[in-house]
Structure 1
Amino acid sequence: MNEQIIYYETQKNHVNEEAGYHGKIQYIDHLDPNDIIDSMVAKNTTITRQDALAVISLYEEVIIEHLQKGYSLATGLFQARLFMKGRFQKEGDLFDKDKHTTHVVFRPAIGLNDKISSHISFHKRQEGITKQYLKGIHDFASDSNIPNEEGYYKITRGNAFALTGSNLKIYHYEGRYKLNLKDSSGKIYDLKPANITPSKLTSSLARDLPEGLYTLSYQVEYGQIIRDYGNLKVQIGD
């Protein structure tokens, strides 16, 4: 696995000012089960969403059943066991739902923290820098994925390209995916995504699209929520 970059910021410790500052991770986004399934499918082309959903549902069902039967569990991600809360006044007292409760406690699996953190490079977030969902563009015709000195990515007219980033796909049936180019005069050209995974979106440009400098923007609407992924500077040509 390649090294990943995680940004953090430092905040004043107001509870114990003598402790100075504490670090806070800048999370990219929150993933739900559908987002995780999308990532699984993107990593392995032989597995379908239905396959992944069935396995995960069965896995959760079996874990719950075993905890209900009184087993403690150990997996590659966590350890889990059932605990009881509430006092018993006498040795012979019985469990009373009005006085006693049970709860599940999860702990990270042994070695999990090291397994995750060993592939992370932590960078301090600078003032004025916001989250950036979009990472780059790969132009298939020129096999270019590096911006020029002015920060413009090349996209060849009449050819396909890939937009890379984080959480590009949200699995909601009402989701609408909007990808467009805006030129220097403000004119907008709508593009049609051909395929979308959580980390990559592929599309193509018309052969008669005017050459020039553009801003490529990506936005997703689902329900009443609009997620704006930001934009990248692109140079359209042959």
Structure 2
Amino acid sequence: MSSIFDCGDEAQLLAGMRHARQAISRGELIVMPTDTVYGVAADAFSPTAVQRLLDAKGRGRNQPPPVLVGSKEVVHALAESVPEPVQRLIDAFWPGGLTIVLPAQPSLVWDLGDTEGTVAIRMPEGRVALELLAETGPLAVSSANLTGRDAAISALDAERMLGDSVSVYLADGLSRDGIASTIVDATSLVPRGAEPTTGGVRILRDGAVSRERLAEVLGDLLEPAESAADAES
């Protein structure tokens, strides 16, 4: 039986955070508020928990979840390298609605799915999310909905879709704007062996951070949007 805690009530917040930490430590799923939409979360370093997350959403391993972190510094432990332009993005947009894909640190022992050696990382805004991440460490988090359905903008939305597959629901009102994070691929900025870097940063999904704002930080390193003809080919 799932438990729902109202994080607007201080007593329920404390109890909810405790139950959420315990659920994560047992390899179970929780639903948590973020600054974009509600997310379903699992221990990023537990392959069983990550698979449970994918199963709950009806996803395959070809759609690995991003990883949420509680501080900017953690990215250096999860990514193989953080190039200077990526650091500019982090400084400009974290905490916030930007997810950055980088080559994963090869020494990490985890299994997020078929990532092809990459990891998608974001530091969210919001007291509940950041306090939880500070205590649990990095979490594999995907939007709290069934695949193909609209993202949940409330804990009740998530509960209607995910039900008892989630142990703990942390409710904190409606999502601020209900817009998912922007996802950018910065893997081409990381050198491979002796080969020089020649690519830029590519937008994989439009979302909370606009192309215009990204261009202000990256300049010519932001790859142009695909034309309609390119997208159809």
Pairwise TM-score range, normalised by the shorter structure: under 0.3
TM-score normalized with structure 1 length: 0.21
Structure with the bigger percentage of strand: 1
Larger radius of gyration: 1
Structure with the bigger percentage of helix: 2
* Structure of greater relative contact order (alpha carbons < 8 Å, 6+ residues apart): 2
TM-score normalized with structure 2 length: 0.21
